[in-house]
Structure 1
């Protein structure tokens, strides 16, 4: 598999400083450039930008779809980590007392695409999923 190009994602937040603290401290993302209404982060090798928006620009973030017996928030974003990195992050988030929408667990156990996953929200309600595959070659495999 070819090394992926970094993605760029910009998301709305209403409280820039609280979200800045969350992505920097809780997730350990290094801060890049910033201005009065936005902050760049190195989001596990990708460029994530949080943009301050007003309350009237709020997006409905309360949708979900059923997957493996859980209500998966839609929309969501995140990163596929190495297994050990995923374990380390899940332990760090538990120590930070982050509330999980879906607690860390392994889904599709023993099947094609077996993966560890966890879902949680940033302070502004943006849903994040972090996952790791037992076999990264199955990232795009059909079950």
Structure 2
């Protein structure tokens, strides 16, 4: 597995899903941090190293996924962190609405729950590595 600039951040309020994703991704060799709500997610985004990618559930307590995306969009440094939305509801949106939402909030991809593990790893590698390469290209 290629090295990422930081850990993956799983933002999921369902403990079973969160722990299953974390266990699977750690077995794949990734460093993983977890948050159970949007407020915790934003706290992780302020730590170093910053996550390489966020796996974001949208229906969260305290602060939902949409508010996390809105906050991320308003902060240039956070806006660089790719987001993959894990949500049955948003994955069910019609393709046009999903594309508009993705463009508006700079969302890399949508995955429907339950997540297919191989597809998840492919998307992580595609988007987190692209981000790491872009950051490496812009650093002094």
| Common fold: TM-score over 0.5 | no
Larger radius of gyration: 1
Higher helix proportion: 2
Give the structure-1-normalised TM-score.
0.29
Give the structure-2-normalised TM-score.
0.29
